[in-house]
Amino acid sequence: MRLGVTGIGVIAPGLAGWPEARDILRGAAGYAPAPLPKIVPAWLPARERRRATRSISMALGVAEEAMATPERARGVPAVFACSGGDTDVIDTLCCTLLAPERPVSPAQFHNSVHNAPAGYWSIAIGDLAPTVSLSAYDASFAAGLLEASGMLADGGKEALLVAYDVPAPPAIWPFRPLNAPFAVGLALAADPAAGASLAFRLARDRAEDTMDDPELERLRTGNPAARALPLLQALALERPGEVVLPYLPGQALCLEHAPA
Protein backbone atom coordinates (compact mmCIF):
# COMPACT_ATOMS: atom_id res chain seq x y z
CA MET A 1 0.00 0.00 0.00
CA ARG A 2 0.98 3.64 -0.37
CA LEU A 3 0.67 6.02 2.51
CA GLY A 4 1.17 9.74 2.94
CA VAL A 5 3.44 11.69 5.28
CA THR A 6 1.58 14.71 6.60
CA GLY A 7 3.87 15.90 9.38
CA ILE A 8 7.41 15.44 10.65
CA GLY A 9 9.10 16.11 13.97
CA VAL A 10 12.79 15.69 14.81
CA ILE A 11 14.87 16.27 17.92
CA ALA A 12 18.55 15.34 17.99
CA PRO A 13 21.83 17.10 18.71
CA GLY A 14 22.15 19.71 15.94
CA LEU A 15 18.73 18.83 14.50
CA ALA A 16 16.38 20.84 16.65
CA GLY A 17 13.11 20.58 14.79
CA TRP A 18 12.14 19.69 11.22
CA PRO A 19 12.78 23.10 9.59
CA GLU A 20 16.42 23.08 10.80
CA ALA A 21 16.81 19.36 10.05
CA ARG A 22 15.34 19.75 6.55
CA ASP A 23 17.84 22.48 5.62
CA ILE A 24 20.75 20.39 6.89
CA LEU A 25 19.56 17.18 5.21
CA ARG A 26 19.12 18.85 1.84
CA GLY A 27 22.61 20.29 2.13
CA ALA A 28 21.57 23.92 2.53
CA ALA A 29 23.30 24.05 5.92
CA GLY A 30 26.16 22.08 7.44
CA TYR A 31 25.57 19.58 10.24
CA ALA A 32 27.30 19.98 13.57
CA PRO A 33 26.13 18.16 16.68
CA ALA A 34 25.16 20.66 19.38
CA PRO A 35 23.85 19.92 22.86
CA LEU A 36 20.11 19.47 23.02
CA PRO A 37 18.14 22.33 24.46
CA LYS A 38 15.80 21.49 27.33
CA ILE A 39 12.60 20.18 25.81
CA VAL A 40 9.37 21.11 27.50
CA PRO A 41 6.33 19.33 26.05
CA ALA A 42 3.91 22.19 25.75
CA TRP A 43 0.75 20.12 25.72
CA LEU A 44 1.35 18.29 29.01
CA PRO A 45 -0.53 19.50 32.09
CA ALA A 46 1.73 20.93 34.80
CA ARG A 47 1.82 17.84 37.02
CA GLU A 48 2.91 15.52 34.19
CA ARG A 49 5.29 18.13 32.80
CA ARG A 50 7.11 18.17 36.16
CA ARG A 51 7.42 14.40 36.12
CA ALA A 52 8.43 14.00 32.47
CA THR A 53 11.85 12.45 31.94
CA ARG A 54 14.15 13.21 29.03
CA SER A 55 12.86 10.35 26.90
CA ILE A 56 9.25 11.31 27.61
CA SER A 57 10.00 14.93 26.70
CA MET A 58 11.75 14.01 23.47
CA ALA A 59 9.02 11.61 22.39
CA LEU A 60 6.31 14.18 23.08
CA GLY A 61 8.34 16.98 21.52
CA VAL A 62 8.50 15.25 18.12
CA ALA A 63 4.89 14.09 18.39
CA GLU A 64 3.81 17.68 18.98
CA GLU A 65 5.84 18.91 16.03
CA ALA A 66 4.52 16.20 13.70
CA MET A 67 0.86 16.73 14.66
CA ALA A 68 1.04 20.54 15.06
CA THR A 69 -2.04 20.86 17.33
CA PRO A 70 -3.70 18.70 20.00
CA GLU A 71 -6.95 18.86 18.03
CA ARG A 72 -5.29 17.23 15.04
CA ALA A 73 -3.80 14.56 17.29
CA ARG A 74 -7.06 13.49 18.89
CA GLY A 75 -8.49 10.27 17.49
CA VAL A 76 -5.19 9.31 15.87
CA PRO A 77 -3.72 6.00 17.07
CA ALA A 78 -0.03 6.24 17.88
CA VAL A 79 2.94 3.88 17.77
CA PHE A 80 5.84 4.53 20.14
CA ALA A 81 8.98 2.66 19.09
CA CYS A 82 11.91 2.63 21.49
CA SER A 83 14.64 0.03 21.59
CA GLY A 84 15.23 0.07 25.30
CA GLY A 85 12.98 2.26 27.39
CA ASP A 86 14.17 4.69 30.03
CA THR A 87 17.47 3.33 31.29
CA ASP A 88 18.05 6.44 33.46
CA VAL A 89 14.98 5.61 35.53
CA ILE A 90 15.88 1.91 35.63
CA ASP A 91 19.37 2.78 36.87
CA THR A 92 17.91 4.94 39.65
CA LEU A 93 15.42 2.25 40.60
CA CYS A 94 18.02 -0.52 40.66
CA CYS A 95 20.10 1.59 43.04
CA THR A 96 17.03 2.32 45.17
CA LEU A 97 16.38 -1.42 45.42
CA LEU A 98 19.72 -1.75 47.21
CA ALA A 99 18.89 0.89 49.85
CA PRO A 100 17.38 -0.09 53.20
CA GLU A 101 13.58 -0.28 53.00
CA ARG A 102 13.88 0.09 49.20
CA PRO A 103 12.05 3.45 49.02
CA VAL A 104 10.83 3.29 45.42
CA SER A 105 9.15 6.51 44.37
CA PRO A 106 5.69 5.96 42.82
CA ALA A 107 6.43 8.48 40.06
CA GLN A 108 9.72 6.79 39.22
CA PHE A 109 7.94 3.44 39.09
CA HIS A 110 5.25 4.57 36.70
CA ASN A 111 7.91 6.32 34.60
CA SER A 112 9.82 3.05 34.28
CA VAL A 113 7.28 1.28 32.09
CA HIS A 114 8.19 1.07 28.40
CA ASN A 115 4.88 2.72 27.55
CA ALA A 116 5.38 5.78 29.79
CA PRO A 117 5.78 8.26 26.90
CA ALA A 118 2.66 6.84 25.25
CA GLY A 119 0.75 7.25 28.51
CA TYR A 120 1.93 10.83 28.87
CA TRP A 121 0.97 11.51 25.24
CA SER A 122 -2.61 10.36 25.80
CA ILE A 123 -2.77 12.60 28.87
CA ALA A 124 -1.27 15.53 26.92
CA ILE A 125 -3.92 15.39 24.21
CA GLY A 126 -6.66 14.22 26.59
CA ASP A 127 -7.69 11.46 24.22
CA LEU A 128 -8.77 7.82 24.24
CA ALA A 129 -7.20 6.82 20.91
CA PRO A 130 -5.12 3.65 21.34
CA THR A 131 -1.36 3.64 21.44
CA VAL A 132 1.12 0.79 21.19
CA SER A 133 4.65 0.79 22.60
CA LEU A 134 7.08 -1.62 21.05
CA SER A 135 10.71 -2.61 20.61
CA ALA A 136 12.62 -4.54 18.00
CA TYR A 137 16.01 -3.48 19.34
CA ASP A 138 18.03 -1.87 16.51
CA ALA A 139 15.11 -2.51 14.14
CA SER A 140 12.70 -0.48 16.25
CA PHE A 141 12.15 2.34 13.73
CA ALA A 142 11.27 -0.05 10.90
CA ALA A 143 9.16 -2.16 13.27
CA GLY A 144 7.27 0.97 14.32
CA LEU A 145 6.71 1.97 10.71
CA LEU A 146 5.38 -1.50 9.90
CA GLU A 147 3.01 -1.39 12.87
CA ALA A 148 1.72 2.10 11.98
CA SER A 149 1.22 1.02 8.38
CA GLY A 150 -0.66 -2.03 9.59
CA MET A 151 -3.06 0.30 11.42
CA LEU A 152 -3.67 2.21 8.20
CA ALA A 153 -4.06 -0.99 6.16
CA ASP A 154 -6.63 -2.09 8.73
CA GLY A 155 -8.86 0.87 7.92
CA GLY A 156 -7.35 3.67 9.98
CA LYS A 157 -7.22 7.09 8.31
CA GLU A 158 -4.22 8.38 10.19
CA ALA A 159 -1.50 7.09 12.47
CA LEU A 160 1.36 8.71 14.35
CA LEU A 161 4.77 7.06 14.60
CA VAL A 162 7.21 8.22 17.26
CA ALA A 163 10.63 6.60 17.47
CA TYR A 164 13.05 7.66 20.20
CA ASP A 165 16.03 6.43 22.14
CA VAL A 166 18.24 8.03 24.76
CA PRO A 167 21.76 6.88 25.72
CA ALA A 168 22.00 4.87 28.92
CA PRO A 169 23.62 6.07 32.15
CA PRO A 170 27.25 5.05 32.84
CA ALA A 171 26.57 1.66 34.43
CA ILE A 172 24.54 0.34 31.49
CA TRP A 173 26.19 2.33 28.68
CA PRO A 174 28.99 -0.18 27.92
CA PHE A 175 26.31 -2.78 27.23
CA ARG A 176 24.25 -0.48 25.03
CA PRO A 177 26.60 2.24 23.71
CA LEU A 178 24.26 4.71 21.99
CA ASN A 179 26.24 7.84 21.15
CA ALA A 180 23.45 10.45 21.05
CA PRO A 181 19.78 10.92 21.84
CA PHE A 182 17.39 10.96 18.89
CA ALA A 183 13.65 11.26 18.38
CA VAL A 184 11.57 11.39 15.22
CA GLY A 185 7.83 11.73 14.70
CA LEU A 186 5.94 11.00 11.50
CA ALA A 187 2.29 11.80 10.99
CA LEU A 188 1.03 9.23 8.47
CA ALA A 189 -2.16 9.07 6.44
CA ALA A 190 -3.83 6.27 4.51
CA ASP A 191 -4.30 8.75 1.65
CA PRO A 192 -0.98 8.91 -0.24
CA ALA A 193 -2.02 12.21 -1.79
CA ALA A 194 -2.14 13.84 1.63
CA GLY A 195 1.60 14.51 1.61
CA ALA A 196 4.80 12.91 0.40
CA SER A 197 3.93 9.30 -0.42
CA LEU A 198 5.62 6.09 0.67
CA ALA A 199 5.28 2.51 -0.50
CA PHE A 200 7.39 -0.26 0.92
CA ARG A 201 8.34 -3.87 0.95
CA LEU A 202 10.55 -6.07 3.07
CA ALA A 203 13.60 -7.50 1.32
CA ARG A 204 16.43 -9.83 2.22
CA ASP A 205 18.97 -8.88 -0.39
CA ARG A 206 19.40 -5.14 0.05
CA ALA A 207 22.07 -3.24 1.96
CA GLU A 208 20.90 -0.32 4.12
CA ASP A 209 21.51 3.22 2.93
CA THR A 210 24.22 5.25 4.65
CA MET A 211 24.58 9.01 5.09
CA ASP A 212 27.31 10.79 3.11
CA ASP A 213 28.12 13.20 5.93
CA PRO A 214 30.33 11.33 8.43
CA GLU A 215 28.75 13.04 11.46
CA LEU A 216 25.24 12.22 10.26
CA GLU A 217 26.34 8.65 9.57
CA ARG A 218 27.74 8.47 13.10
CA LEU A 219 24.36 9.62 14.38
CA ARG A 220 22.53 7.13 12.18
CA THR A 221 24.49 4.15 13.47
CA GLY A 222 24.69 5.46 17.02
CA ASN A 223 20.97 5.44 17.82
CA PRO A 224 18.28 3.03 16.60
CA ALA A 225 15.75 5.83 16.06
CA ALA A 226 18.28 7.60 13.85
CA ARG A 227 18.08 4.72 11.34
CA ALA A 228 15.28 6.92 10.00
CA LEU A 229 17.80 9.50 8.71
CA PRO A 230 17.93 8.32 5.07
CA LEU A 231 14.14 8.52 4.95
CA LEU A 232 14.19 11.99 6.50
CA GLN A 233 16.77 13.05 3.93
CA ALA A 234 14.57 11.73 1.11
CA LEU A 235 11.63 13.70 2.50
CA ALA A 236 13.82 16.80 2.79
CA LEU A 237 15.10 16.54 -0.78
CA GLU A 238 11.59 16.13 -2.20
CA ARG A 239 12.76 13.96 -5.07
CA PRO A 240 11.30 10.54 -5.98
CA GLY A 241 13.45 7.52 -5.27
CA GLU A 242 14.00 4.62 -2.90
CA VAL A 243 15.62 4.37 0.49
CA VAL A 244 16.63 1.18 2.24
CA LEU A 245 16.35 1.05 6.02
CA PRO A 246 17.55 -1.83 8.18
CA TYR A 247 15.02 -4.18 9.75
CA LEU A 248 15.89 -7.40 11.62
CA PRO A 249 19.29 -8.96 10.84
CA GLY A 250 19.31 -10.05 7.22
CA GLN A 251 16.20 -8.02 6.39
CA ALA A 252 15.64 -4.51 5.09
CA LEU A 253 12.70 -2.17 4.57
CA CYS A 254 12.76 -0.68 1.05
CA LEU A 255 10.78 2.55 0.90
CA GLU A 256 9.81 3.99 -2.46
CA HIS A 257 9.04 7.68 -1.98
CA ALA A 258 7.62 10.52 -4.03
CA PRO A 259 7.18 14.17 -3.06
CA ALA A 260 3.78 15.67 -2.37
Q: Where along the sequence are the contacts to other proteins (CB under 8 A)?
A: 1, 48, 51, 77, 82-85, 90, 93-95, 97-98, 102-106, 109-116, 118-120, 122-123, 125-137, 140, 143, 146-147, 149-151, 153-154, 170-172, 174-176, 202, 248, 250
Closest CB 113 distance from other proteins, rounded Å? 5
Q: Which is nearer to other proteins, 71 or 154 (CB)?
A: 154
Closest CB 188 distance from other proteins, rounded Å? 14
Closest CB 255 distance from other proteins, rounded Å? 15
Q: Which is nearer to other proteins, 13 or 222 (CB)?
A: 222
Q: What type of residue sits at position 123?
A: I
Q: Which is nearer to other proteins, 82 or 231 (CB)?
A: 82
Q: Cα(163)–Cα(61) distance, rounded to whole angstroms?
A: 11
Closest CB 204 distance from other proteins, rounded Å? 8
- Please list, residue by residue across 49-82, b when 16 or more beta carbons sit within 10 angstroms of its beta carbon and e when fewer do: bebbbbbbbbbbbbbbbbbeeeebbeebbbbbbb
Q: Cα(65)–Cα(72) distance, rounded to whole angstroms?
A: 11
Q: Cα(133)–Cα(125) distance, rounded to whole angstroms?
A: 17
237 exposed, middle or buried (CB, 10 Å; 0-12, 13-18, 19+)? middle
Q: Which of 72, 94, 84 is nearest to 160 (CA)?
A: 72
Q: CA torsion, points 10, 15, 21, 25, in degrees to nearest 10?
A: -120
Q: Which is nearer to other proteins, 65 or 138 (CB)?
A: 138
Check residue 28 and report its DSSP letter. S
Q: Which is nearer to other proteins, 91 or 215 (CB)?
A: 91
- Please list, residue by residue across 143-164, b when 16 or more beta carbons sit within 10 angstroms of its beta carbon and e when fewer do: bbbbbbbebbeeebebbbbbbb
Closest CB 75 distance from other proteins, rounded Å? 11
Q: Which is nearer to other proteins, 91 or 242 (CB)?
A: 91
Closest CB 171 distance from other proteins, rounded Å? 5
Q: Which is nearer to other proteins, 16 or 136 (CB)?
A: 136
Closest CB 106 distance from other proteins, rounded Å? 5
